[in-house]
Structure 1
Amino acid sequence: MESVPCLDVQNVQRIRLDVSGAVQGVGFRPFVYRLAVEEGLGGFVRNAGGGVALEVEGPAGAVERFQIRLRRETPGPANIQGIVRQRLEPDGQQGFTIGYSDIGGAPSASILPDLAMCAACRAELFDPVNRRYRYPFITCTHCGPRYSIIEAIPYDRARTAMRHFAMCPACQAEYGDPASRRFHAETNACPDCGPQLALQGRDGEVLARRDEALARAVQALREGAIVALKGLGGFQLLTDARNETAVALLRQRKGRPAKPFAVMVGSLGDALGLVHVSDAEREALMSPAAPIVLLRSRDDCATPLAPSVAPGNPDIGLMLPATPLHGLLMEALGFPVVATSGNRSGEPMAVDGDEALARLPGIADLFLTHNRPIVNPVDDTVTRMIAGRVTALRCARGMAPLVLANPKQTRPVLALGGHMKNALALGWDGQIVLGPHIGDMAHTETRAAFTRSVEIMRSLYGVRSGAAACDAHPGYHTTRAASAISDRVCPVPHHLAHVLSVMAENGLEGPVLGAVWDGTGFGEDGTVWGGEFLAVEGAACRRVAHLLPFRLPGGEAAVREPRRTAIGVLHTLYGDALWDREDVALLAAFAPGEQSMLRNMLARGINAPLTSSAGRLFDAVAAVLGLCQRTTFDGEAAMAVEFAARAASAVHALPSPVMMPEGDTLQLDWRPMLAAIAEAAARGVSVASLAAGFHHWLADSILEMARHAGIAQVALGGGCFQNALLTERAMARLQEGGFRVYRNIRVPPNDGGLAVGQAAYAARRMDEVMD
């Protein structure tokens, strides 16, 4: 490699800088090289297990300027988290080089998430005179696969899936050219030496390769086919989002009756024809993460989507092409496509070609695949605008692994997450790393994916020993898996983990009042919690208050049938007189035999567990208002209540929150509110205004409880705070009351963020034990 001599002057210095953070796979070493050359310094830079190590030597002034510029001019998406400086004796080195990586020591460098195609690569992709014209795997130091292809740290081609593709002379020349955008780009490839496309039928037969494979997939989508596409981190299922027949068929084959599908469009202009986009949402869509963003549909939609894309939903989950392959596909199609995970409902997505052919032939008509291995599966990230900030609902491609600083994290912990929306976290060396979304642990395939993810996290970061933190529920698969992973198992109360997740993300110390509202979580008294107010300081937690408990007739059946939950709520409100009330229209939803069964369950408390769940209270209100009696996916009923409230032109006033003493805690009594909703609905009062009133009552309740607790910091956590209307109203009321309000933004507020809180809890507990 060419070297540049340093000036021979007095007062020469040599320093070593060990740089940690997101500094591998982002063009950081080429940046350091150019900076050192511009300042006339000698030395080297190389990847190391902990980040990037570099030494520079030259005049003191030049060395000082180099250090200032290193931080000031760091190119995105690189992110320096820390620099350790060491003074060395000058050795007269007269040139600067990029050296071989140091593979010794424990790996601790930040692994960068996969990055969406940059503008420069997009320009080349569609430039007919460029040698990478229409090449589906074009990348540079600023974009392309990272986490999904990495096998080990440090991040070098030899430790990624790209090791299977030897660079041709032209790519090798770019790799070694300091003036090139691909200088030391580990993913560098071209049509002559890189990965290639293939189109396969359901039986695995290769039907076409390269450009023809793409062209035939495009034609099939135009004709209404369902195509399984191997994306960045796994397979997606694509079909024409305008074609009701095709979308309905995809729902039938996938076993997904109503849950909204995500939609991909080719450009921001196309998006603006379908949805309303704020500046912050536009920035998220076009960011290197390229997530799915939930956006409000336009009434004057330029290209109407099929009704089955998002039935009964005023929002559309929209994304732009994240990879060159997606970009080529959308440019050729010119219309929006459904882009949903390549799986049957509830299972993890298929990752490699053989798995896709085994699991998806009953769903997909064709398979557009390629020969670049996916080392680490990763689904699409889902976000939503809440209180002016784009908030993660699912942390995956483009965001995960997500690194959070946590000085308390001094001992290694592998946190195993929850049963729903599972994701892992690894805590050690002052940080917590949240891995990508895995899925719901009720399915055998998801459990296998969970086991693989445990090995991936431990292997990538070299953290083999340490405690295993898990949910306190004794029946969860993750709880049982913890004892096989470590002999030091740390069960973590579900709702405390939610509060600690918010605290860890926001760098909070106690005391904090956590308002933790979700569907279900194992309570410390053995009942089902979900509408909790917890005072947290250090590892100590005290239940300050909770929603008045009610019964769920049929247990899990009530979770799937909000009408059952509503009966449990109404029974708590009216008692046995419920069954004789003529003004409760909901009773007509049950046959006489069903009524008798429910009556017996509630009277005797058999298969009717008590719960304080705010999520289930949402379900009950949905049923009472006639919005949703049965659900096909998690959160469906609560979404219906939120959507109704958003459409309200007025807010129906409901009775003020009532707090009742219960020993050392308080109960938030929802009965006067629910009675008012039921009676107003029976009189024909607007459902939308009642739904809006319900949201206001919930927000007012949080404020009243915060005033009672007298704790200045309030953390909003749990799946209910995916509801933008509730979150925004609660934050506004609390801030008006003088409270400081915190919530999850990068970490999902739902169970996808539990592992972060579990890791933080285990770290605090271990410090107490060890100290």
Structure 2
Amino acid sequence: MNVAFQQRLQIVIQGAVQGVGFRPFIYRLATELGLVGWVNNSAQGVVIEVEGSRSQLDTFLLRLDQEKPPRSHIQSLEASCLNPVGYAAFEIRASVVGEKTAIVLPDLSTCPDCLQEIFDPTNRRYRYPFTNCTNCGPRFSILEALPYDRPNTTMQRFKLCQHCQTEYENPLDRRFHAQPNACPHCGPHLELWSQTSELLASDDNALNMAADAIRQGKIVAIKGIGGFHLCVDARNEKAVQRLRQAKHREAKPFALMYPSMASIKAHCEVSELEAQLLRSPAAPIVLLHKLSASSVTPSVAPNNPSLGIMLPYTPLHHLLMADLGFPVVTTSGNCVDEPICTNEHEAIQRLETIADRFLVHNREIARPVDDSIVRVLMGQETVLRRARGYAPLPIRIRSHTPPPPHSPTPHLLAVGAHLKNTIAFSIDQQVFVSQHLGDLDTVPAFEAFQQAIASFQQIYDLQPTAIACDLHPDYRSTQFAHQLACQLQIPVIPVQHHYAHVLSCMAEHQLEGSALGIAWDGTGYGSDGTIWGGEFLHITDRNFQRVAHLRPFRLPGGDKAVREPRRSAMGVLYELFGDAMFEMPTLGPLQTFLPQELKLIKTMLSNQINCPMTSSVGRLFDAIASIIGLHHQTQFEGQAAMALEFAIEALETNESYPFSLPRSPTSLKKSEILNLEPVIIDWEPMVRNILMDSSAGASSSSIAAKFHNTLVEMIVEMAKRVGEEPIVLTGGCFQNRYLTERTIQRLRAEGFRPYWQQRIPPNDGGIALGQIMAALRELSGGKEPCV
């Protein structure tokens, strides 16, 4: 071959290209086309050098994009034409290190090929619960450092047997460089333990005995891919109730695992998209509408028309569910307000009063990764809890103003909110958002939060140049940010909670320019020191302005109102009637308090003691739920709001209640209107009409539907006043399917372009991403936000 006619391409690919069989794919493609050179993993992605004729190289690039492995995703491909060096063959070279920006893949559900093997009696991996290949298996949960090679994972302690080593080294095998590759001879194995760590059985016998224990109504703690599940027979009322009592989880719905899609469809309505999500590599928990024929005991999801369901996603789960053949509760293996257990000895200590048996294995879990939760809104997937299968895939963002010449690119850490916490790092134009970490109320939860930050720093060798946090001074995450920044001598950038919500959604959609953001949730610290939660924020390239909010009311007892909707109701009713409210005994919320409690609440409200003001739509939901008698006290966050949504049932109505807005000045320009004091949307006419409907015996369904419709009309009216075509819907209230879908439909009908969150949760799980975006704006010359 005449070298003079040869060319050499150097190709650098970034994206999800490690742990998906990308290098063997490149090897096969290059050798098929007669090209020479090499490919390797780097800390940034995959690097390729190929030599051949121009036509061969053009074909290589075309087919690379068209035929890449199904689990891979190319974010960027940079090709440079160089002089040939005369390579003799094509080879896969050892990985190299450097600045670490490669994408870490999430854990992937079992692929069809591996599934077939574990149920094939003639296969050497028959009934082996740790079977995997380059298309499936653990990734993020076993990774300790980059690049993604076996020595950098928790599989390093397992020496490959001859058969597995041959697979691992064969570029034509689907297990070529499958880092978790193993078999019964050389890989992890199962054991069944008692509550006192006594070994009861090993390997397949352990699995069979665990299945028998579940059939007998026992609670079994099972170590999975990212932590423990607590499992019981979902048809056994006594077993489910015992799990609730032991876990101190009175009413919050449990997640379920079903053995097959057919069994799910026998119990739930399943759309085509929902079926795709259930079968996807992410294999999340999907919220489905249950049918009346469901055999699942009602205490799995009390008074809830939906079930959170997933299919088996590891070989261990597939084998167990095939043996059982019925749905099983698979709730996180933790105590209330604590992180999920990942270590068998830790599980024995923390779960010994809950579980009867422990099905464990000796593959270490590098970090806790809970199950993800999704639901379908407007025909689109919406992630409500982002963890296994999704994290830590990055969100690619548009570049902001570049740093000055010769100055390093800022690496930002965002520490998120206090509830549903996630953390995030920015590297170049990528924001890596962590898995769901949970609420930071307990010492173990806060320790898990700190470990997550340390884990990201270890994987990417990151030293942040600034830290973004919530504006709330009492959040543990905020306090940690200030302490760490002091140690590192770097700046802290506080970000208003609802501004972060809106920027999170805008980042996901790569939306730039001005927009109207509607951020509705339960609690967020406002720039004026009050509790916000019913916000209309006008967003520009550099800052935000609070252009409207719902009328504030007081919360007697402060944080107690979160678990007692009747307190929110008292605050709303006091706004209407003042002290005269206490002379109106027919009001439902008043009847739930003892006389001495009412006396104390009256003192608090009259003297404004421990009665913070809030504009929160979340607390307004609670208030209405209490006023119409759905919930006066709750066992978990959001229970009253969920009951109000569920009360609508199948009722279809366009009716709404009146509400009040100040008259809009007609002689002012749009820019002048935006610079006025925030518009206060007054819910008083709505609440007075709800009281009249309730006293007249109107159904909860009718009141709930009209209440939701009224909130939608508030949004539409403010959208018209502000005049921005892009409308961003975010915050925990937009987990509500009826509210979100109706709002989108009405806004579209009025000519607006609504955006809502899909890959990043609308709740506080999305705050960290928004904090990163706000910090980037500030560092690139943004102004201080307005109140």
How would you bin the TM-score normalised by the shorter chain? over 0.9
Q: Does 2:160 correspond to 1:161?
A: no
CA contact (8 A) 1:660 1:666 kept: no
Aligned to 1:3: none
Alpha carbons 2:661, 2:679 under 8 Å: kept? no
Which ranges in structure 1 are unaligned for 5 or more consecutive residues? 1-6
Structure 2 length as normaliser, TM-score? 0.95
Q: 1:704 aligns with which of 692, 717, 727?
A: 717
Alignment-derived partner of residue 757 in structure 1? 770
**1:342 equivalenced with 2:333 (yes/no):** yes
Q: CA deviation at 1:569?
A: 0.4
CA distance in 1 between counterparts of 2:92 and 2:594 reads 76
1:494 aligns to 2:497 (yes or no):
yes
Contact 2:414/2:469 (8 A) holds in 1: yes
Map 1:298-317 to 2 at 5 A: 298-301=291-294, 304-317=295-308
Give how far 1:663 is off.
5.9
Describe how 1:402-417 pairs up with structure 2 within 5 A. Answer: 402-408=393-399, 410-417=409-416
Q: Which residue among 392, 402, 427 is the counterpart of 2:383?
A: 392
Could you report, residue by residue, the CA deviation over 1:196-253 in whole angstroms, capped at 9, with x for unpaired residues? Answer: 0011111111111111111110110010000011010011100100000000000000
Secondary structure at the counterpart of residue 516 of structure 1: strand
Q: Secondary structure at the match of 2:164?
A: helix
Q: Does 1:418 align with 2:417?
A: yes
Query: Contact conserved, 2:659 with 2:682, CA < 8 A, in 1?
Result: no
CA contact (8 A) 1:660 1:669 kept: no
Task: Tell me the CA shift for residue 169 of structure 1.
Answer: 0.6
Q: Distance in 2 between matches of 1:185 and 1:590?
A: 62
Q: Deviation of residue 402 (structure 1)?
A: 2.6
> Cα offset for 1:539?
3.1
| Partner Cα distance (1:444, 1:134) in 2 | 39
The answer to whether structure 1 residue 212 and structure 2 residue 225 are counterparts is no
Match of 1:4 in 2: none
Q: Where does residue 671 of structure 2 map in the other structure?
A: none
CA contact (8 A) 1:111 1:401 kept: yes
Whole-Å separation in 1 of the counterparts to 2:612 and 2:195: 46
Asked if the contact 2:11–2:79 (Cα under 8 Å) also holds between the matched residues in 1, the reply is: yes
Q: What corresponds to 1:116 in structure 2?
A: 109
Corresponding pairs, count:
761
Q: How far apart in 2 are the matches of 1:536 and 1:611?
A: 22
Secondary structure at the aligned position of 2:648 is classed as helix
Q: Supply the AA of the counterpart residue of 1:88.
A: L
Residue 463 of structure 1: aligned partner: 462
Structure 2 residue runs without a partner (length 5+): 401-408, 665-674
* Cα separation, 1, equivalents of 2:422 and 2:689: 40
Residue aligning to 1:670: 683
CA drift of 1:358 comes to 1.1
Amino acid across the alignment from 1:13 = Q
SS of equivalent residue, structure 2 residue 125: coil
Q: CA deviation at 1:654?
A: 1.6
State yes or no: 1:436 paired with 2:435: yes
Candidates 638, 642, 653, aligned match of 1:639: 642
| Partners of 1:482 and 1:299 in 2: CA distance | 49
Alignment-derived partner of residue 17 in structure 2? 23
One of 220, 229, 235 as aligned partner of 1:236: 229
Q: Does the C-alpha gap of structure 1 residues 769 and 675 become closer, same or farther in structure 2, counting only changes over 3 Å?
A: closer
Displacement of 1:625: 1.3
Maintained 8 Å contact 1:23/1:78? yes
Q: CA deviation at 1:687?
A: 0.8
Deviation at 1:653, TM superposition (A): 3.6
Q: 2: CA distance between counterparts of 1:161 and 1:617?
A: 48
Q: Choose 83-92 or 712-721, whichever is displaced more.
A: 83-92
Answer whether contact 2:565 2:625 (CA < 8 A) is retained: yes
Q: Counterpart of 2:741?
A: 728
> Taking structure 1 as reference, are residues 652 and 767 closer, same or farther at Cα in structure 2, changes over 3 Å only?
closer
| C-alpha contact (below 8 Å) 2:537/2:548 kept by paired residues | yes
Q: Write out aligned runs for 1:289-328 (5 A).
A: 289-301=282-294, 304-328=295-319
> Given that residues 552 and 558 in structure 1 are in contact (C-alpha distance below 8 angstroms), is that contact kept between their aligned partners in structure 2?
yes
Shift of 1:586: 2.8
CA distance in 2, matches of 1:669, 1:538: 30
Indicate yes or no: 2:65 matched with 1:71. yes
Offset, 1:184: 1.9
- SS for the counterpart of 2:516 is strand
User: Out of 35, 44, 49, which is 1:50 matched to?
Assistant: 44
What's the offset of the Cα at 1:44?
0.7
- Tell me if the contact between 1:230 and 1:236 (Cα under 8 Å) persists in the aligned partners: yes
CA displacement 1:683-723 (0-9 Å, x = unmatched): 10111011001111011110100111111111001000000
CA positional deviation for 1:445:
0.6
**Cα offset for 1:11?**
1.7
Tell me the equivalent position of 2:535: 532
Give the equivalent residue in structure 1 for 2:403: none
RMSD of aligned Cα (Å): 1.4
Name the CA distance, whole Å, in 2 between partners of 1:687 and 1:566. Answer: 16
Distance 1:12 1:510, change over 3 A: same
Distance 1:462 1:757, change over 3 A: same
Shift of 1:659: 4.2
- Counterpart of 2:368? 377
Deviates more, 1:623-632 or 1:594-603: 594-603
Task: Kindly indicate whether residue 547 of structure 2 is the aligned counterpart of residue 556 of structure 1.
Answer: no
1:768 pairs with 2:768: no
Conserved? CA contact 1:660–1:667, under 8 Å: no
Q: What amino acid does structure 1 have at the position aligned with 2:12? A: D
After TM superposition, the runs of 4+ consecutive aligned structure 1 residues lying more than 4 A away are: 7-10, 649-652, 659-663
Evaluate the alpha carbon distance shift between residue 554 and residue 200 of structure 1 in structure 2; reply closer, same or farther with a 3 A threshold. Answer: same
Q: In the alignment, which residue of structure 1 is the partner of 2:633?
A: 630
Number of the residue aligned with 1:748: 761
Matched, 1:472 2:485: no
Equivalent in the alignment of 1:40:
34
For 2:587, the equivalent position in structure 1 comes to: 584
* Aligned residue type for 2:630: L
Give the corresponding residue for 2:446. 447
One-letter amino acid of the counterpart of residue 336, structure 2 = S
Shift of the 179–118 alpha-carbon distance from structure 1 to 2, 3 Å rule, reads same
Q: Does the CA-based 8 Å contact 2:659-2:684 persist in structure 1?
A: no
Give, in angstroms, the shift of residue 407 of structure 1: 3.0
CA-CA distance at 1:390 after TM superposition: 1.4
- Secondary structure of 1:504 counterpart: helix
Pairing 1:174-213 to 2, within 5 Å after superposition: 174-213=167-206
Amino acid at match of 1:474: P
Residue 80 of structure 2 is matched in structure 1 by 86
Q: Distance in 2 between the 1:361 and 1:582 partners?
A: 48
Equivalent position amino acid for 1:452 in 2:
Q
Give the secondary-structure state (helix, strand or coil) at the position aligned to 1:768: coil
Structure 1 residue 480 displacement after superposition: 0.8
Deviation at 1:576, TM superposition (A): 2.3
Change over 3 Å in CA distance of 1:355–1:683 after alignment to 2? same
2:677 aligned partner, one-letter code: D
1:94, CA displacement in angstroms? 2.4
> Alignment identity in percent?
49
Instruction: Give 1:589 shift.
Output: 1.7
Equivalence for 1:690: 703
Matched residue, 2:524: 521
Q: How does 1:646-661 map to 2 (within 5 A)?
A: 646-648=649-651, 650=653, 652-656=655-659, 658-659=661-662
1:138 aligns with 2:131: yes
Q: Secondary structure at the match of 1:545?
A: strand
Q: Does 1:681 align with 2:694?
A: yes
Equivalent-residue separation in structure 2 for 1:207 and 1:46 (angstroms)? 45
Decide whether the 8 Å contact of 1:41 with 1:94 is kept in 2: no
Please say if residues 659 and 683 of structure 2, whose CA atoms lie closer than 8 Å, have aligned partners that are also in contact. no
Equivalent residue letter for 1:431: Q
Q: The residue matched to 1:393 in structure 2 has which SS? A: strand
User: Which amino acid is 2:378 matched to?
Assistant: A
| Aligned amino acid, residue 649 of structure 2 | R
CA-CA distance at 1:380 after TM superposition: 0.4
- Equivalents in 1 of 2:539, 2:159: separation in Å? 54
